[in-house]
Amino acid sequence: MDFNLCSRISILKGDIVNVSCDAVVNAANPALAGGGGVDGAIHRAAGPALYEKCREIIKEIGRLETGEAVITPAYEMKGVSWIIHTVGPVWRGGNYREREKLASCYEKSLAIAAEKKLKSVAFPAISTGVYFYPYKEAFDAAFEAVCGFLKKNDFPQKVIFVFYENSAFEYAKKRAAL
């Protein structure tokens, strides 16, 4: 990876709710209803005001489509100002534009962050839990989308990939050559 990009990307292992940054990205569902996995952890950390805000958004837009993103405050989540909610694709074997939709999650989330001139954004491994996207293919798509975006944009200055699972973390580090 070229030096400039390298200095703008980090890969961490751990719980995304413990990362300090301007915005964390939530692997949400179309109803923004909260749930298990990373979504549940983020909602627990942000507190009930996040549920209320999400309900308001859904009243307005109906549902958040796959590959789209919206931003909310992070409420009670410590060390974070914003949460960007995006809906990843459910893996159905790879022939249903899953890669394009997953790339869109990263690009749309980053576009929101760029518009707000946010300095740092942390992403979980979107779609790789109950949406079944294989973690290697998911990281390949995510990494390509993020690098492409950062090359063209000064904001966010920094992107942090946060992995919960060791195998995905190890793969990402190797793949990104960090």
- Catalogue the active-site residues: 39
Among residues 66, 104, 109, 127, the one that binds ligand ADP under rule CB under 6 A: 127
Residues 129-158 that bind ligand ADP (CB under 6 A): 129-131
Q: Does 23 bind ligand ADP (CB under 6 A)?
A: no
Taken in order 64, 25, 96, 34, the sign of the CA dihedral is negative
Among residues 126, 141, 146, 160, the one that binds ligand ADP under rule CB under 6 A: 126
Helix (H) or strand (E) holding 162: strand 158-163
Q: Which stretch binds ligand ADP (CB under 6 A): 38-46, 55-63, 66-74, 145-153?
A: 38-46
Tell me the chain's radius of gyration from C-alpha atoms.
15
- SS3 state at 133: coil
Alpha carbons 157 and 21: distance in angstroms, whole number: 11
Q: How far is the CB of 14 from ligand ADP (least distance, A)?
A: 7
Residue 148 token pair: 């492409």
The neighbouring-strand residues paired with 24 are: 83, 122
Q: How far is the CB of 15 from ligand ADP (least distance, A)?
A: 4
Alpha carbons 96 and 19: distance in angstroms, whole number: 33
Q: How far is the CB of 165 from ligand ADP (least distance, A)?
A: 5
Contact residues for ligand ADP, defined by CB under 6 A: 15-17, 27, 37-39, 41, 88, 124-131, 162, 164-165
